[in-house]
Amino acid sequence: DEKELSAKTNILACPICYNAVIHKGDPGLTLETKPGSSFECSTCKKSYYSNKIYLDLTVSSGAKEYTESTPPSIEIFRTPLVSFLYERGWRQSFSIWGGFPGPDKEFGLAKDYLKPVLGGNIIDASCASGLFTRLFSKSDLFSLVVALDFSESMLQQCHEFNKQEEGMPKENVILVRADIARLPFVSSSVDAVHAGAALHCWPSPSSAVAEISRVLRPGGVFVATTYIVDGIYGTIPFLSTIRQNIGQLTSSHIFLSESELKDLCTACGLVDFTCVRNGPFIMLSATKPR
């Protein structure tokens, strides 16, 4: 058990110096997380603790007085109401206006892209209430599934849904609170990263994809879904300026073409970009070079 535990947790890193963290006592990483379980950075000696739900690996973890505001695109998903509604109507609306096929079909598409890394570990980045965390876990296609989100209330919902899900394994799922632009994983330690309907919500997609590229192993796969405003909308004058103004107000991003997403992946060190479309919906995949 100790050997298996070590194999699962040796990908975790301090978000400050990116060196491995070492668990102290019961690591508390399963669905039955024990409060107070802790990890310590092997270099800077900072400790990171879990509560009854998740392990907090944010930079500000443990700070007692320091706080900072987050962008609107992040803050809205930290509210308990939006987190509660996410799987109770919010996510379903993506199919109506965004062309999203739905979780089951999206999962099927993702599996095709992830075939080269089946059996490895996968990070469900910006997991929200855990729709895909549960699908990945129950599929038994990965040795470890990390449900990662910055929102405490989303991780709470993820935890509750995980407990209620019939046949949900407890031994290969961990919940981690982290910043997508400061991923708490050892460099070149992750086989796959999945980000469902999240790329457009990240304040800096380039910072996030660069971090994903850093943590992926050579041959590792990044799969993400988002939406593109192109087609007839691409003829609107000054659309790029409008997008920039919206981005400044909300810190979210509107993509205007497939080539823009390909360029983003290429700039962040990923290759073999490919994608599938359904109206505004796009699923993309890119790979860390071997």
Q: Find the Cα–Cα–Cα–Cα dihedral 169, 192, 151, 29, rounded to 10°.
A: 40
> What is the Cα–Cα distance from 203 to 216, expressed in whole angstroms?
21
Nearest to 94, CA basis, from 194, 234, 196: 196
The lowest-confidence range among 147-156, 217-226, 239-248, 253-262 is: 239-248
In single-letter form, the type of residue at position 229 comes to V
Show the tokens assigned to 89.
Answer: 């109507």
Q: How many domains does the chain have?
A: 1
Residue 45 lies in a domain: no
Which residue range forms the structural domain that includes residue 270?
56-288
Burial of 140 (0-12, 13-18, 19+ CB in 10 A): exposed
Residue 26 lies in a domain: no
pLDDT digits (tens, 9 = 90+) for 43-97: 999 999 888 889 999 999 988 899 888 888 888 999 999 999 999 999 999 999 8
Residue 4 lies in a domain: no
Residue 101 lies in a domain: yes
CB 190 within 8 A of CB 121: yes
Residue 250 lies in a domain: yes
Task: Provide the pairing of β-strand 21-24 with 38-41.
Answer: antiparallel
Question: 245: pLDDT confidence band, cut at 50, 70 and 90?
Answer: low
For range 222-251, the mean pLDDT: 73
- DSSP assignment of 210-232: HHHHHHEEEEEEEEEEEEB--GG
> What is the Cα–Cα distance from 39 to 27, expressed in whole angstroms?
7
CATH of residue 157's domain is 3.40.50.150
> What is the Cα–Cα distance from 278 to 259, expressed in whole angstroms?
16
Residue 213 lies in a domain: yes
Question: 229: pLDDT confidence band, cut at 50, 70 and 90?
Answer: confident
pLDDT digits (tens, 9 = 90+) for 156-170: 999 999 999 988 887
> What is the Cα–Cα distance from 268 to 247, expressed in whole angstroms?
21
Its pTM stands at: 0.91
pLDDT digits (tens, 9 = 90+) for 195-212: 999 999 998 999 999 999
